[in-house]
Chains A and B, each alone.
Chain A
Amino acid sequence: LAKTTQPISMDSYEGQEVNITCSHNNIATNDYITWYQQFPSQGPRFIIQGYKTKVTNEVASLFIPADRKSSTLSLPRVSLSDTAVYYCLVGDATRSQTGANNLFFGTGTRLTVIP
């Protein structure tokens, strides 16, 4: 089962680029890598998802090396409102239909953006 490891916390100044790396050594062939953002008193919010190489959207970029054993979430020019917990999730939700648990949230990385 693909579990994940992330740094517990990170600090960054406003305007800097932030890179958060997630290790998932046991990732399976069918697993996608998904990142979520969670603010206090809210449910997690989808940020970005990828399978391999690089994915970019209006919010972030996701870099996945060829072996897929890790992934890096990149947040360009962070602002104070990016202060949140960021979770890396690896799994194939469709397998949950057969009873196999694939949906492990890691410890998350608490990002604090400093003025």
Chain B
Amino acid sequence: SAVISQKPSRDICQRGTSLTIQCQVDSQVTMMFWYRQQPGQSLTLIATANQGSEATYESGFVIDKFPISRPNLTFSTLTVSNMSPEDSSIYLCSVEYSKETQYFGPGTRLLVL
């Protein structure tokens, strides 16, 4: 298995500002994913981040709003830009460890005022 940590665990931000969320894995992994989970809802995939290439975004998510970095095989960041209250959510990173099995971080709980 993989141990995944996220920073910050939670934050309260003002609208119009940006927040960068960090995801650290204790082993090298090829595929990392970023999800959003709104209160009481399921998970929605934002993008796939592979080291050495541009992130691949899903429908409804764009790079200008959610820029992603993947500088090495153990680390990734997701930035939520120009935030609005609608961005209030839990943001989760995950890694594919083996055979389509994902391990998830604890999540970052974001509240935008």
A residues with CB within 8 A of B: 32, 34, 36, 41-46, 49, 87, 91-94, 96-97, 99, 101, 103-108
The stretch of B11-19, B66-74, B103-111 in contact with A is B103-111
Q: How far is the CB of A35 from chain B (nearest CB, A)?
A: 11
- Residue on B nearest A30 in the bound complex, by CB: B100
A96-B33, A97-B31, A99-B56 given; A42·B107 CB < 8 A: yes
* Count of A-B contacts judged by CB separation below 8 Å: 64
Which residues on A sit within 8 Å (CB–CB) of B103? 46
Q: How far is the CA of A43 from the CA of B104 in the complex (A)?
A: 5
Q: Is the CB of A42 within 8 A of B106?
A: yes
List residues of chain B with CB under 8 Å of any chain A CB. 4, 31, 33, 35, 42-45, 48, 50, 56, 58-59, 92, 94, 96, 99-107, 109
- A103 contacts B45, C-beta separation under 8 Å: yes
Q: Is the CB of A101 within 8 A of B105?
A: no
Pull 8 A–B residue pairs with CB atoms less than 8 Å apart, ordered by A.
A42-B107, A43-B4, A43-B94, A43-B104, A46-B101, A87-B43, A101-B45, A105-B44
A34→B100 contact, CB < 8 A: yes
Shortest C-beta distance, B20 to chain A (Å), equals 19
Write out the residue numbers on chain A whose beta carbons fall within 8 Å of the beta carbon of B33: 93, 96, 103
Are the CB atoms of A45 and B101 closer together than 8 Å? no
Residues of chain B within 8 A (CB-CB) of A108 are: 42
Q: Are B48 and A87 in contact (CB under 8 A)?
A: no
Shortest Cβ gap from A43 to chain B (Å): 3
**Other contacts beyond A36-B102, A46-B101, A93-B31: 8, CB < 8 A:** A32-B99, A44-B92, A46-B102, A92-B100, A97-B31, A97-B50, A105-B45, A106-B42
